[in-house]
Amino acid sequence: MKRNDYISWDEYFMGVAKLSALRSKDPGTQVGCCIATVDNRIASLGYNGLPRGCGDDMFPWNREGLPLETKYLYVVHSELNAILNFVGNDLTNCKIYVTLFPCNECAKAIIQSGIKEIVYAEDRYADTDIVKASKKMLDAAGVVHRKYKSSSKKLVIEV
């Protein structure tokens, strides 16, 4: 195998985030993330879904309707899930790879956990107040956020 046949760390961790997203039961938006340490080890993974013990069929996945009839009051975002799933004691200076730019609530958790860089695949809601607030807080806290630069490599994994 030639040296250029290997994938970069960004490709590796974003690939893991994309794979994690496939665990989400959300029919509209599957989001995944991977937290990587400064020495390129996976610290934690997450995807958007319901809290432990809350069955996927017991709660709504609707995007529209009365608040209690939509997913928004129930679903835990991938970033928060990854932070809560972390079994160590320190995420300081880690990077978080996420398939969708974090909302304001996840930005708070990212900042508080000490994560210093966000690499995101999509910024679909950039014009919303939620993402504008997220970016304002991240910038104020010195958390770098950059768009993932997709390579032309296509990987096929058979499971």
Residues with active-site annotation: 79
Measure the CA–CA gap between 64 and 81, rounded to whole angstroms.
23
Backbone angles phi, psi at 36, to 5 degrees: -115, 140
Q: For residue 114, what is the enclosing H or E element?
A: none
Neighbours of 141 (CB within 10 A): 14
Contact 117, 33 (CB under 8 A): no
Distance of CA 124 to the CA centre of its chain: 13
- Distance of alpha carbon 129 from alpha carbon 104, whole angstroms: 9
